[in-house]
Amino acid sequence: MTSPLRILALCGSARRESLNAKLLAVAVAAARAAGAEVTLFDLNASPLPLYDGDMEERDGLPAAAAKLVEIAATHNALLVASPEYNGFITPLLKNTLDWMSRAEADPFAGKVAAVVSASPRPFGGMKSQILAKQLLGNLGCLVVPATCTLPRAHEAFAPGGALQDARAAKSVEALVAQLIATTRKLAAVG
């Protein structure tokens, strides 16, 4: 019997009405509908200090980072929402991944990752998505090649949170399907 496929979902936005959090919620729902177990970890609920090597040497890994690393160890894949600030990934996302990378047990090795991005702008956060994929790859994740960006995201959601455009919904479903299929092949999970 195979173990269940488990996905850890993270949103790199701290905004209360984040468009990326809304897109991530759609992706999480698609993953759950496809049979995956998904843990949505709220980065705002466990704030981390700005990464500082001297602080790390003095105090070790912050408790919030250690908790996130421990959770990541029980998951096969990562699903990340990467907002775009000034054409780059958010400080929240970068700082979180930096702290996680400092753990003794590598939380990224052997993980499959996928990235979604939403933006009011015409390219839907494409620049940050490219950089987030590169960073996750540098950390040791196998990043699926599927791209899922949501341009004009401020107009994309129905009142209940569903995507109004069928093509956008299919893009999310295709990315999630690729994440799940790749993870199943590599991790021998259900």
Cα separation, 145 vs 174, in Å, equals 11
Cα separation, 184 vs 3, in Å, equals 10
Query: Tens of pLDDT along 62-117?
Result: 999 999 999 999 999 999 999 999 999 999 999 999 999 999 999 999 999 999 99
Q: Give the residue extent of every domain in the chain.
A: 6-187
- CATH superfamily for domain 6-187: Flavodoxin domain (3.40.50.360)
* Chain-centre distance for alpha carbon 75: 13
pLDDT at 188: 67
pLDDT at 30: 98
pLDDT at 1: 47
**In this structure, are residues 96 and 48 in contact, taking their beta carbons and an 8 Å threshold?**
yes
pLDDT for 44 beyond 80 = yes
